[in-house]
Chain A
Amino acid sequence: MNALRAALPEVGRRWDGECTRSRLALGVATTTIVGACLFGLTRAVGAEHFDCFHVCVGLAAALLGGYGALRAAGSVSAERRQGTWDLLRLTPLSSFEIAAGKFLGAPMFPAILALSLLPWALAGAPLSKYGTPDGALPLLAFLAATALGSWAIGLMVSALADERLGNSEGTQAFVVVLLLPLISGSVPSFARNNAELGFETGQYWGATLPLWLIAAATWLAFGAWAFEAARWRIAHDKLEPLRPWRISAFMIFVVLYFAGFKAYDGAERSALIAWPYVAALVASLAEPWSRVQWRTWLSGAAARRLSGAPVWMRALATLAAIAAALSLSAPEAPRFPILLALFAARDVCFLQWCRLRVRKNADFVAVVYLAILYGLPLLIGGIAAHGQVNYFFAAIVKPNLGFALNVLPGLVEAAAAAALLFHAV
């Protein structure tokens, strides 16, 4: 523990503040009593009526994934509210040391509680038809992967949350509401399916892999990206020089990740563009630029350096490159990626323009306008033109039109939005 304290002081701080002897004793005693009662109940009524293994695994998953994620989701935002964040920023700790300390330190207490439940789950395993010895390792691996992934997501939300994005308990609660049923439900159901379905396998990039491995790796991979996003924001707060590779690498990763599934084979490959498109929109929402930032980037000492460019701009550039690559790799449906990239440029530039021109609730106004813009095709198509002009407003492939005519509306709108933004800057 001392080495960990020295390497990651945040872990020591959490331990000193939250894992006091009385708190630990009370928590572990409670989970022990609960575990013993669940085990006793299973022994009394039989595992077919009440499965201690199943319930203990679910509770452990809820503690790790739900409570742990809640703790992680408050780790940075709570410090911002309390005024201790600046003090932490003043230390020479690197963004990685802060992020890793919070990642491991914040969910420490829930993790101890969850671990104290595991002996009861293992004790109940022989009674349960789901708790086969062969299933224990994949289950524990999956549980650990969901825990690590959910902590990283909690940390990311906490790091990105500020006054503008909702630096409040509500943000944290939102994360937990999303994660809790997902994890506490999926882990036991995974345990059940794993036993019942005889270790299902799936195809991924042509290889036959156990589903638990694909699922656990998915949690870990996206968790690692969430951690990196949290670290990026902490580095931003620490005024560390930022390297511009993250958003592009993430978008390429997302495409490669989904491309491994059979659903995206053949003509469906072009639909992969939807994932980096979402990433570009989120990047745009997460990073507003003021006029001052624009002026600094356009004319300051670091004028127009790639490392200083807004994240959404790099995201758009990456999206364009991915769209080109997907168009070439899916000759059956080459237009859709290009169309979506153009409309993404329109949407993102419009959002940034709103931020410079609309005084209040700029993001909300932008999203409403964009929603109307995407709703118009339905309205106009349904009532007036029978869908003939839908492609004016959204990325819709019109096979009966030539390529140039199909992409023209998106191109014009993207150029108009970019011109508006440039004028506002």
Chain B
Amino acid sequence: MPASIGVRGLVKEFGDVRALDALDLEIAAGSITALVGPNGAGKTTLLRILSGLSEPTEGVVLLDGRETAPDPRRLHAAVGFLPDHFGLYEDLTPRQSLAFFGRAYRLDEAAIAARTAEVLEQVGLTDKADVGSDTLSRGMRQRLGLARALLHDPQVLLLDEPASGLDPGSRRALQETLKAFAARGRTVVVSSHILAELDEYCTHAAILDLGRLVHQGPVSGGPARARRYELRVHGTAPDPELLKGRSGVGGVRVDGARLTFDFDGDEGAAAALLRDLVTSGAAVASFSEVQSTMQDRYLEIVSRRE
């Protein structure tokens, strides 16, 4: 069953340091949300609180609209979490280890056998199922950690730097696994610094800075600001005068053979602007919105702070 997860007024203090500062966040059921931000922004702290590993100083965590604090076991049963740093039971094989966690998540023996085989296949560790966990490489350990988080088919999957230590092939496989998981209506929150990859599979982004939420929304959209457009004209380099005095237009820049500018208006207003340009005789070759990546938006937000 899809589950939404949210936080209200979340504060977490470590001594004099405020890691999360009155954070409000809503993560929709069935979404894959990228949690990004500079080091020390509070991402790991937030994930640990969402997973029920850490207690907030103030504020509440909601799972499907219900507070989790009175019954943390309900949260633990619903959430799968892959922490940034974790250990393995070195004296167990991956199969034994997953069987142990399967029992801990109260799966029956038949379900444990089936799910163990399934998640080992998903993370590409089937051939290592019966070797000692102490012989696994770093990437394999990370994949075993992911298998553990997926084992009980959680409603919400929280991942802290899941691609750390993975080779390119495993990263691609991770993306496919997460997309397939979310396609079944499950909710995923993933924290990572590899923003280009997050763009490929995340549906939403939440940007944290200094313990506060500075942006949240769909990945295809941008932060609440004017959209950036690009204009090319036939023949010569475009003249900035073309856009002078037009409503909603600002930040005009000549960038080689094109003009880029911010336009504060919806798609209808953009179409009207294009019509005006053509009517006024401009030889428009192309007119399009510049799609900014998560990395662009992230860098823009961070640079604004600086």
Q: Write the residues of chain A forming the contact surface with B, with a CB cutoff of 8 angstroms.
A: 2, 5-6, 9, 12-13, 16-18, 79, 82-84, 86-94, 238-241, 290-292, 296, 300-301
Measured in the bound complex, the distance between the Cα atoms of B86 and A300 in whole Å is 32
B142 touches A (CB below 8 Å): no
Restricting to B58-103, which residues have a CB under 8 Å from any CB of A? Answer: 58, 69-70, 72-74, 76-77, 79, 81, 83, 85-92, 96, 99-101, 103
- Taking a contact as CB atoms under 8 Å apart, the answer to whether B104 and A92 are in contact is yes
The chain A residue sitting closest to B148, CB to CB, is A87
Which of chain B's residues have a CB closer than 8 A to the CB of A2?
109
**Contact in complex: B88, A91 (CB < 8 Å):** no
Instruction: List 10 A-B pairs, Cβ < 8 Å.
Output: A5-B103, A17-B92, A18-B91, A89-B53, A92-B74, A239-B52, A239-B53, A240-B72, A241-B69, A292-B14
Report B-chain residues with C-beta under 8 Å of the C-beta of A88: 104
Q: Taking A83-B86, A239-B69 as given, write out 4 further A-B residue pairs in contact, using a Cβ cutoff of 8 Å, ordered by the A residue number.
A: A16-B92, A90-B76, A292-B13, A292-B57
CB within 8 Å for A82 and B87 given contacts A16-B96, A90-B53, A292-B13: yes
B275 within 8 Å of A (CB atoms): no
With A16-B96, A83-B87, A90-B53 known as contacts, the answer to whether A292 contacts B15 (CB < 8 A) is yes
CA of A91 to CA of B70 in the docked complex: distance in angstroms?
16
CB-based contact B91/A17 at 8 Å: yes
Question: How many Å lie between the Cα of A79 and that of B92 in the bound state?
Answer: 14
Contact of B87 among A87, A94, A241, A301 (CB under 8 A): A87
A241 contacts across to B, CB distance below 8 A = 69-70
Chain B residues within 8 Å of chain A by Cβ, number: 37
Q: Write the nearest CB–CB distance from B8 to chain A, whole angstroms.
A: 11
Do A90 and B52 touch across chains, with their CB atoms under 8 A apart?
yes
Contacts of A5 in B (CB 8 A): 103
Q: Is the interface of A mostly helix, strand, loop or mixed?
A: helix
Interchain CB contact under 8 A, A84 and B87? yes
A82 to B14, CA, bound (A): 23
Pairwise interchain contact A83-B85, C-beta atoms closer than 8 A: yes
Query: In the complex, which residues of chain A have a beta carbon less than 8 angstroms from the beta carbon of B72?
Result: 238-240
Question: Cβ of B203 < 8 Å from any Cβ of A?
Answer: no
Q: Does B51 contact A (CB under 8 A)?
A: yes
B76 touches A91 (CB 8 A): yes
Determine if B77 and A92 form an interchain contact, defined as CB atoms under 8 angstroms apart. Answer: yes
Task: Indicate whether B55 reaches chain A with its CB closer than 8 angstroms.
Answer: yes
Distance from A250 Cβ to chain B, minimum over Cβ atoms (Å): 25
For A293, the closest partner residue in chain B by CB is B57
User: Which parts of B8-22 form the interface with A (CB within 8 Å)?
Assistant: 13-15
Query: How many Å from the CB of B111 to the closest CB on chain A?
Result: 12
| Chain A residue contacts of B14, Cβ below 8 A | 292
Q: State A291–B18 Cα separation when bound (angstroms).
A: 13
The reply to whether A13 and B79 form a contact with Cβ atoms under 8 Å apart is no
B91 (CB) vs chain A CBs: closest residue = A17
